[in-house]
A and B are shown apart, each in its own frame.
Chain A
């Protein structure tokens, strides 16, 4: 008769906190790696804002200015946010919707992984893409659009882009739990493109009809864009704190929707 193997606690398991931290870091690392390796996603989410910025910010640039800054620098802010939104909406909105429909999310849920590790890995992935997009756009602007940007300004827009990943990721999560997975891609475009246009990311708001200027503040992209313009030394509307509240409010609403949708899903699981 064989003796049953006795499992002894391993030294590494003695500290649950360090194990939890390790799980979070592993989850984030592989989520970023997975997204980068998925070329259809990584190339399009970086390629779209780059292409738009090249077309509208650089090629059509006639050395005009908006307020105190050059158009190429002003639009750098807008397209950076456009890029962040795309990474979150396609990476999380569509990605999580697919994980959900395929049963992969349930498998993760049934494992001892802390659920927050999954969410945080997605947010960090979106933030990593945001930072990459801002950096590429800045390099393009500096080398091909005569954009003058101080290192302090650059650090500020990096920080804003990373911060922006949070509300956009929550929008992505809410979408992932509300939308039928098969149509997630189409609905992502229906949110992504109109929201970007209506909050003045493509064409500055002052050149758009009055009605659009009136409704723009309902979008998180509008508030983040104003913070971005201010950081670039361009003219922006409203106070910094009002934009922060706007973003916070939007984030909380999206988290609330996600939570409700998740509860509903568990009841119907």
Chain B
């Protein structure tokens, strides 16, 4: 049994520079620990896909080393232990779901039993459909099943639940948790911050080819709360329709930021009670009031914006 801290895949000081001069990944170091779900977050162009492709052995690094199970990711033995789900625009459409799954199961020496796989990806009843006849969400589930076909120890999932309805998304989340519970390692890139928050043991936030921060979802949230003037991470977001000007609001004690979208004003403040008391007195017409805790999304936006 692998210990919880064993590294199954890593990038060491890896740089990937394209011929057009763009540096997608810049002296990046990443470590994936066994049995963990790791979420890679970042805006478009942050280098997430490149980092994942380096670990899948689809792209060669300009410098630095990439190691998966202690060897080159392109090694056939390494590939027998990894499963990959990529954003695929079009798979062969005139093959049935059953055929696609079994072709990939055939690549591995110890594939996952067919029935288990269909259950895991919620594909029961769709086995005889042609890939081209499936809905977007169903196609996504076939690709998920393909990633799990070999019962791999390390699974790369690139935006696994994009285009899925809530029910299928929850089903896939449950499967990802079950994988980790069985000691498998999952690296997931996602645009759904909620997904990273719900699934990941560790979140790695990337921007411009570098890691900005990494930690548990709670740690990443508190790091995002690190506004220059913030003394604690207990700040709140107040949203409402108000006639008070942004300058006025900004001048109130504890207010860190004010922004306006449409008729709604958003105030980030360390002292929500004091701010609200003052606002309610000054603006009798204040309406549509909401107070919320900063979500991972806000932390994420703060972190990537600061860089």
A102-B89, A111-B79 known; A26-B106 Cβ under 8 A: yes
What is the CB-to-nearest-CB distance from A84 to chain B, in angstroms, rounded to a whole number?
Answer: 22
For the complex, is A214 an interface residue (Cβ under 8 Å from B)?
no
Majority SS of interface residues in chain B?
Answer: loop
Q: How far is the CB of A18 from chain B (nearest CB, A)?
A: 11
Q: Which residues of chain B have C-beta atoms less than 8 A from A13's C-beta?
A: 109-110
Q: Known contacts being A268-B18, A269-B58, is A111 close to B110, with CB within 8 Å?
A: no
**What residues of chain B lie closer than 8 Å to A107, measured between beta carbons?**
84, 86, 88, 91, 143, 146
Contact indicator per residue, chain A 242-269, by CB within 8 Å of chain B (1) or not (0): 0000000000000000000000001111
> Which listed segment binds B: A3-11, A153-161, A189-197?
A3-11
Q: Which of B92-100, B162-170, B206-214 lies at the interface with chain A?
A: B92-100
- Asked whether, in the complex, the Cβ of A9 is within 8 Å of the Cβ of B110, the reply is yes
Number of A-B contacts (CB under 8 A): 95
A4–B182 touching, CB < 8 Å: yes
Tell me the complex Cα distance, A267–B57, Å.
11
Chain B residue nearest to A114 (CB atoms) is: B76
Given contacts A38-B94, A267-B19, whether A110 and B79 have CB atoms under 8 Å apart is: yes
CB of B276 closer than 8 Å to a CB of A: no
Is B90 within 8 A of A30, CB to CB? Answer: no
Residue-wise interface mask of B (76-87) relative to A, using a CB-CB cutoff of 8 A (1 in contact, 0 not)? 100110101011
Q: Is B106 a contact of A104 with CB atoms below 8 Å? A: no
> Secondary structure at chain A's binding surface: helix, strand, loop or mixed?
helix
- A99-154 contacts to B, CB under 8 A, are 99, 101-104, 106-107, 109-114
Is B197 an interface position by the 8 A CB rule? Answer: no
Distance in angstroms between the alpha carbons of A37 and B182 in the assembled complex? 40
- At the interface, yes or no: B183 with Cβ under 8 Å from chain A? yes
Q: Residue of A at shortest CB range from B158?
A: A103
User: Is B151 close to A, CB under 8 A?
Assistant: yes
B232 at the interface (CB under 8 A from A): no
Report the minimum CB–CB distance from A144 to chain B (whole Å): 32
The smallest C-beta distance from A31 to any residue of chain B, in angstroms, reads 8
CB distance from B154 to the nearest CB of A (A): 12
Contact present for B91 and A102 (CB under 8 Å) = yes
Q: Which chain A residues have a beta carbon within 8 Å of chain B's beta carbons?
A: 2, 4-5, 7, 9-10, 12-13, 16, 19, 22-23, 26-27, 30, 33-34, 37-38, 98-99, 101-104, 106-107, 109-114, 266-269
Which chain B residues have a beta carbon within 8 Å of chain A's beta carbons? Answer: 1, 18-19, 53, 56-60, 76, 79-80, 82, 84, 86-95, 99, 102-104, 106-110, 130, 143, 146, 150-151, 156, 181-183
A-B pairs with the 6 shortest C-beta distances? A13-B109, A102-B90, A37-B94, A102-B89, A269-B59, A110-B84
**A30-B95, A266-B60, A267-B18 given; 16 more Cβ-contact pairs under 8 Å:** A2-B181, A7-B151, A9-B109, A22-B106, A23-B106, A38-B94, A101-B89, A102-B90, A103-B86, A104-B91, A107-B88, A110-B57, A110-B82, A112-B107, A266-B58, A269-B60
